[in-house]
Amino acid sequence: MEKTLPKIEIIEKYCKGCHICVEFCPTKVLEMKGFVVAVKNLEACIKCMQCELRCPDFAIKVSAE
């Protein structure tokens, strides 16, 4: 069965570039692009929601079926 990919929404205007989500993502899905976070490898996402949980700035939303 084909894996359904989650949707990771980055609200760039809220992101302050603190790196927390990048560092605490266990599968290194995210990266910094300039001062804001970006999705680097969505395939690797295990939908653990750690990035959404830890983001102090309400800048990440992870939607998974």
Q: Which is nearer to another protein, 46 or 64 (CB)?
A: 64
Q: Which residues contact 24 (CB under 8 A, 6 or more apart)?
A: 50, 51, 54
Give min distance, CB of 6 to another protein, in A: 10
Interface residue list for another protein (CB under 8 A): 9, 13-14, 16-20, 23-24, 52-58, 61-64
CA separation for the pair 15, 58 (Å, rounded):
8
Q: Which is nearer to another protein, 18 or 38 (CB)?
A: 18
Q: Which is nearer to another protein, 9 or 44 (CB)?
A: 9
Q: How far apart are the first and last CA of the chain?
A: 14
